[in-house]
């Protein structure tokens, strides 16, 4: 079972993502509403996948992601983006494994998450 850590400031968005993940038979091992909590908790949860809201990243997202990767080297990092603009390219360029638009339908989000999880458990 894929172990997922959710980090999003909005409780409603975490709830919606949790429902999609549970429907996909993925285990939500932790949640955070801020970056400091994410960085402190995610490594001890033995996560396979980290879903991180772009807006939670500090001013230097590349350094923040590097720090997270050092703390959780085996986890795939998926950046959640509110608006599809240059941020999706920025998310990938700072080292994210993938990005998902928060504007996608639940079915499309599930499709993206299935694809990412498949790379964990080929």
What is the CATH T-level fold of the domain 3-120, as seen in this structure? Rossmann fold (3.40.50)
Residue with tokens 């939500």: 28
DSSP structure class, residue 72: S
- State the pLDDT at residue 106: 84
Helix (H, G, I), strand (E, B), or coil: what is residue 116? helix
pLDDT tens-digit map of 24-81: 999 999 999 999 999 999 999 889 999 999 889 888 888 888 999 899 999 999 988 8
Contact 78, 96 (CB under 8 A): yes
Q: Calculate helix-pair angle for 106-120, 11-23, nearest 10 degrees.
A: 60
Q: Is the pTM of this model over 0.95?
A: no
Residue 33 and residue 25: Cα distance in Å, rounded? 23
Give the count of alpha carbons within 13 A of 77, CB side only.
Answer: 27
């Amino acid at each position: 079972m894929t172990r997922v850590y959710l980090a999003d400031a909005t409780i409603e968005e975490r709830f919606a993502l949790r429902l999609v993940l549970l429907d996909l038979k993925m285990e939500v091992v932790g949640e955070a509403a801020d970056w400091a909590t994410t960085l402190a908790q995610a490594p001890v949860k033995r996560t396979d996948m980290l879903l991180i809201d772009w807006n939670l990243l500090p001013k230097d997202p590349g350094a923040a992601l590097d720090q997270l990767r050092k703390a959780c080297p085996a986890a795939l990092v998926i950046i959640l983006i509110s608006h599809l603009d240059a941020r999706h390219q920025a998310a990938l360029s700072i080292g994210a494994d993938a990005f998902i638009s928060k504007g996608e339908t639940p079915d499309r989000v599930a499709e993206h998450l299935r694809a990412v999880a498949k790379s964990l458990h080929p």
